[in-house]
Structures are given as structure tokens and as C-alpha cells.
Structure 1
């Protein structure tokens, strides 16, 4: 005859798994609905920002349109990729120290960014973006000035 303690333990485990599975299902459903609601809100905010930009651009006088655009235009969010930074630097065949001079940081900082040990700040992202837009000749001119 099997041990009653083992049978009881197995039955308790089975019932507990069943209860946990039911609870997890309700949480999963709630999570899906929350994600859908967040996505809808993001789309709505984006549409409202575009509408605001169009309204400000259309109603502002010509002389102060630049001020209005600067005041109401959301800043461009810059993304950073360590791999893209390393690829750009190797494409230009520049050392980390030289590339760092272009950006305004040290060579060690460039290494840390490429390895993912650190991330650039907002101002540094802008510097990286400006360097990324330069052509090889412009980079050589800028390096000569430095």
C-alpha cells in the first residue's frame, strides 16, 4: 500500500499548481489589456502633438514662427547604439582617442560607450549625432583645427 503522506503531498502540489495557474491567467489578461491601453494613449498623444505643432505653425506670425517652433516642438529623442558607434568609428578608421576629440570626450569614454559599460548624456548624444552627420573631409578639417 502506498504511503499516504506521499499521496497527500502529491495531491496538495497538484491543487496548488492549479490555483497558481488560474491566478497567473488573470494577471496575464490584465497585463495584455494594460499594454493595449498604453499603446492607444501613446498614439493619441502623438496625434495631439502633431495637431498642436500644425496649429502653432499655422497661427504664428512669420517673424516669430521660429520662436514658436522652438517653444512647442518636442525635442528629437536621440537613440544610442554601442554597436553603431563602434561601426562608425571603424568605418572612419579613427582611434577612440581621436574620435573622442571630435565628440568632446576622452578615448576611454568612447571605449566604455562601445562596450556598453556607460551611456552618453543628452548633450553628448547631440555631439555624437553632429559627428555622425559629418563627411570624411569635414572630419579631417575639424581634426586639423583641434
Structure 2
């Protein structure tokens, strides 16, 4: 009787493996389809993120050159909206410096800091002290001619 019981157990195990094989195959197919779909969605997300970044760079900044550079309050609240501050960002400093046609060294001379500080601010490695931010924002609000005129007298 033991051989009958053993052969019955073996047959049950064989049938179970056979049925599981079919089910596992279906699960593998489903899993593969889901993985490929996830990969496609990741590619689509990456493309959309790069498109958003490009559009963010293309978006024109508000015309701050038209603002008078006389007071820090006019820079802190553009277009007369109280409660809305202009915030210092590394990217803005870099683009505005390029727009003004100034080198990092010239910008540093105008602000009374080292060119290394300008480089660190632009690369995001450091942030300027809070006491320097209004002066930086005033300088960034200048027009190209006015900024170059301020640099010329200080040139050796």
C-alpha cells in the first residue's frame, strides 16, 4: 500500500506543477507587459519634464529694467504688489549677469565681493548673506548700459 500512496502523492504533485506552470506563465506575461508599460511611462515622464524645463527657461522674465533702481523697496515689491518679494536664485543671478554682459569679476567688483563668491552663488554652492540680497537685486534690475557705466570708472 505504501507504493500506491507514494505514486498517488507523486501524481498529485505532477498535476499541481503542470497547472501552476500555466498560471505562472500567464503571470510572467502580465508582469512583462506591466514592466514595458512602466518603462514607456517613465520615458514619457522624462520627456515631459524636460519639456517643462525648456518652457520654464523660455518664459520671459518680467521687465525689471524699467523699474527705477533707486530704492530697495521697488525691487522687493515689483509692479507695486506689497507682500510679494523678489527672491534671490542662483539661476536668476547667472542669467541676469549674462544679460548685463558682465563677467563674474566685474559683478564681484560692483557688489564688493570676491569673484569666487559670485561663482559659488551662481553654482548654488552658497547663498549670499541676507544683508547683500537687496544690493544684488538692485544691481540685477539695472539696464545693460547703466551696469557697464558703473563698471567703467572702477576699471584699473
TM range (shorter): 0.3 to 0.5
Higher helix share: 1
Q: TM-score, normalised by structure 1?
A: 0.45
Q: TM-score, normalised by structure 2?
A: 0.42
